[in-house]
Every structure is written in C-alpha cells, then in structure tokens.
Structure 1
Amino acid sequence: MHNPPRKTGTVGINRLIASALRLKLVSDVPERLARARLPYRPNARRRERISVIRESGVLFIHVPKNAGTSVCEALYGSQIKHETVHYYASVAPDVLALPSFAIVRDPVCRFRSAFRYARSGGTADRAVARPFNRRYRAFASVDDAIDHLATARSSFDIDHIFRPQSWYLTDSRGDCRIDQLVPYEEIDSLDAIVGLDRLAALPRLNRSSAPAPIVLTPSQEAFLTDFYAADFALWENALALTSRTFRPRSARRASA
C-alpha cells in the first residue's frame, strides 16, 4: 500500500522557489520577484505587517544595523522586517505613498557594527540567519568579510547586515523614495525630526556588547568607500538636510 503524497505547504513552495532562484534566504523570494517585476501575493504574516503600517499612517524602512529594531518596536509594537521600496512598490504601493522615513549611518561605522555582529552570530535579541551564521562566525579578520562582499554575485548573496543601505531605500533608477532620512548620529532627536512623539524614548534592542576597536587599513577603507558609494551619498545628504532644517539636540547641548 502506497502512502498518500505529502502536501507541499507555503514554506516548502517558497524553499523550492528560493532554490530555483539561487537565493540563500527564503525570505528573499518576494524581494527577488519584486525586482523582476513578477506578481507576488504576500502571505498572511506579510499582509498583517502591511496592515500594521497602514494603521500607523507612516512607513519606516528598517535598514539593518541602524537601530531599526528599536524604532519598529516603538512605532508598530512589532517588527516589520527588512523590506525595501521595491517590495512595497510591488505589493502595496499605497503604503509607499505614506509619509516615510529611515535611519542612515556612516557606512564604515555600520560595517564595523555588522562585522562584530557577524562574528558573534548575532545578539541576545536576534541571531544571524542560518545560511550565513556559520560562515560569519568563522571570519578571522576584516579581510574575510571584505572578500565575502567582493565575491558576491549580488546583494542576495550576502546577509542583510552587510547589504548596502541604498538597496533598501532607492528604486531601480537609484532615486531615494523615502521622504525623510535621519542620520544615525541624531537618533536621540528622532521624535522631533520626524514629528512622532512615540519615538521620544526608544528601547535599546538588538544591541551588541561593548565594541572592541576595529582598525581598518587604507586598502580596506578604500574598498568600503567604493562598495558603499551610494550609501555615503545618502548619509551625507541626510546630514546636510538635517543641519539646515533642524537644530539637533546634540548641537543644543553643545551650546548650552
């Protein structure tokens, strides 16, 4: 007597699609389809996250290693994952039309944070994704991480912590689709900059332990400057715009 064939669930189907698309992360399937302009209907969990954003009336793009876990918790009461403007434009364009903001960071500082996070396998709040965890924990030096970035075929071949910030914030033409970019340096003034009182006292989630100094060689810095060139432009523009339109608390403290 033959056993009846097993039904393939959504997770199993997504794993098959991820394998066919040569994706390491199953969660990248919707993003890959969005960038290929192929139809995709979000599953129940994704639809629920989109509903939470709609109800809040504001879209926050969670760029990894930029304190986004804390912002999501304060803003939505839950995590919305690392979705991009491509994704929202494909599955929920009305959400992309909401007032929006994101936090951007000095790319070299962000790389240092990601490198520490990678080698430790994550934090008490969150672990590095399984397909990357073992390799990242085995990084013996910064050069190992840089080799990983340099040999990747695309951003899909590296974990979110190392993907360019621009990957989340810009469209296919390279134009930023987010209304307000807030420099990481002014996160303590986030509530005043974006006008949301609920962001006045952020919880400190997904933080790494006290960082040990990471000294980069000139060649390593040169690689990062080139690899994250678009990120430097976004961060520097955010710094310039914020300094012209808002007097940060850091400046007010300095002049007090």
Structure 2
Amino acid sequence: MIVSDRFGFIFIHIPKCAGTSVRRALEDFHDGAPHFVESLGHHPAHGELDFTHLPLNLLAEIDPDVFAKLRSYATFAIVRDPMQRFQSAMAQRAKMYLKSEIAQLGEADIAAELDRVMSYLRSVPQVTAPEFIHFSRQSDFVFMDGERLVQTIFPVERLDDLAAAIGDTIGGTELAFGHANQTTVFRYPHLRQIAQTGSQQAKRLMPEPLHRWVRKSARRMMMKPKAQALLPAFDTAGVRDFVAEYYASDYDLHRGALQRACA
C-alpha cells in the first residue's frame, strides 16, 4: 500500500492484481509507515501479517489514522478477473511456499493444494494468514460494511489508465507500470526435466551468488509469461463453482471496472 500525504492519495495493493509493479513505481511518493511497502511483520494481536496486503477491516483496526484518510484522499486500486487471479495466486503460493513453479507440479499435486486452499477459505478465518493472503477477496480491499471506500478502480488490463490518473494526481508526472510477479511457464516444455536436473547440479557445484546469476539468466531464456488459458486442474466443476461463489462480489467489481474503462 502507498500512502502519500504530500499528494493526498492512497494506492491500495490488492494481491495478484499487478500491484507490486505499481507499488514499486510509487515508493518514492510514500509517506506512510515502512511496513506498508515491506512484507511480513509481527502484530501483537494477530501474529504474523502481510502488511503490504491489508483488507480494509484489518487496516481500520491496525492503523485507524490511515484508514480515515481513505475518506479524504484520492484512492486507487487495480482489480482482475477472479478466475485468472485465483490461478495466479496458486502459482504465487507454489513459488513462495512449495518452492516450485506451478509448471513443475503435477495435476495431482495442484489438485491437492487447491483442496487445501479452498478448505481454508471456507473456514472463514477472522484474519487471513500470510500464506493465503493472495486468495483474499478483492472486494475486501474496496468495501467495508457495504460502503465503498476506494473510489477509483481500474482493471488490470488498463494499467496505462491508472498510471495517467495517478500521474495527474501528483502534478502531471509521467508514470509507467510494468508487471512484476508474472506467472511463467517453460518456453520449451520438453526441456523441463533437463533444466530442473541441471539447476540442482549447478546449485551443488557453484557458489551461491554465481548460481543465482546463472539461474536468473537461464529463466530469462527458458521461461515465458503464462498464457491466460486455465490449467486442467483449475478447469473443473468443483474449482469453477467455488470461484464463482466465493468471489461473486469480485466478478461484479471487475466487470464494472471494465465497463467504465471501455465507456
């Protein structure tokens, strides 16, 4: 989240909606607490929290002063198609907590992890644990108790419009937002096993800094952004029904943002 007291705006970082790219581009304008642009931190009542992704009810509890500014500052957020976001959130979970690209997991492994995630969300946790925060409802970052508190919302398809809108707010500054944390897949699937084996051997033989450089270079050559088509494990009645029901308000939010962007 970006809180700019100098320019009177707040960018709410909804997870898995290209927000990392926007947040990085706007960090020089941030005047709020450092934990809003960092990651995990400890809260005395709730334990470990992801302070970069705070639903509005949690923001109101943790920092009522910043929450109050939502009513007087210009407020911005990005939203995304819920099914695409759900798959992207699972890819992020695989990378962060399973230490694997989703492209490296078998369908059975993905299905088991999907069951784990859906069971957790169905349990209606009072505060979402950091490892599941990417699956939070987008609407929880926009509405609180039925009141819409974030007024300017763009679909992820229109990042250029968001850049222009925030640029106008900060005095006509030209901004450009890339897209960090993109889900990637192998450019040449038949080389996947060779690449994985080679990476494991390189990690054993190379000093850590050199291995990181080689791995980063190899990823640029061998990986590409994932197309929007759903992986088979997501294209099932059980998953589709869950996403349609659990994220019903998010579908409305994204649909409305798209319609306004195209008007």
TM-score by length of 1: 0.61
Match of 1:230 in 2: 249
- One-letter amino acid matched to 2:54: E
Q: 1:105 to 1:204 in 2, by over 3 A?
A: closer
Match of 1:17 in 2: none
Which among 63, 75, 79 is matched to residue 14 of structure 2?
63
Q: CA–CA distance in 2 between the matches of 1:74 and 1:119? A: 26
2:182 is equivalent to residue 182 of structure 1: no
Which among 144, 150, 154 is matched to residue 116 of structure 2?
144
- What SS is found at the alignment partner of 1:92? helix
Query: 1:48-86 deviations in whole A, cap 9, x for unaligned?
Result: x88x52124211000001111111111223726123433
Q: CA–CA distance in 2 between the matches of 1:118 and 1:147? A: 15
Match of 1:95 in 2: 69
Alpha carbons 1:117, 1:123 under 8 Å: kept: no
2:18 is equivalent to residue 73 of structure 1: no
Aligned pairs for 1:106-121 (under 5 A) are: 106-121=81-96
TM-score by length of 2: 0.59
For structure 1, list consecutive stretches of 5 or more residues without a partner in the other structure: 1-48, 125-136, 245-256
Alpha carbons 1:155, 1:163 under 8 Å: kept: no
For structure 2, list consecutive stretches of 5 or more residues without a partner in the other structure: 31-36, 39-51, 100-108, 186-225
Question: How far does residue 117 in structure 1 lie from its aligned partner after superposition?
Answer: 1.0
- What SS is found at the alignment partner of 1:201? coil
Identity %: 29
- One-letter amino acid matched to 1:140: A
Alpha carbons 1:56, 1:76 under 8 Å: kept: no
Aligned pairs for 1:1-256 (under 5 A) are: 53-77=4-28, 79=37, 81-86=52-57, 87-88=59-60, 90-96=64-70, 97-121=72-96, 140-154=112-126, 156-157=128-129, 159-172=132-145, 174-196=146-168, 198=173, 200-210=175-185, 211=226, 213-215=230-232, 216-244=235-263
Question: How far does residue 122 in structure 1 lie from its aligned partner after superposition?
Answer: 6.2
Alpha carbons 2:167, 2:175 under 8 Å: kept: no
Alpha carbons 2:167, 2:173 under 8 Å: kept: no
Q: CA–CA distance in 1 between the matches of 2:93 and 2:173? A: 31
Point out the more displaced range, 108-117 or 66-75.
66-75
Match of 1:6 in 2: none
Q: CA–CA distance in 2 between the matches of 1:199 and 1:94? A: 28
Say how many residue pairs are matched.
182
Alpha carbons 1:53, 1:95 under 8 Å: kept: no
Judging by fraction of residues, say which structure has more strand: 2
- What SS is found at the alignment partner of 2:153? strand
- One-letter amino acid matched to 1:72: R
Q: 1:85 to 1:146 in 2, by over 3 A?
A: closer
Question: How far does residue 93 in structure 1 lie from its aligned partner after superposition?
Answer: 4.5
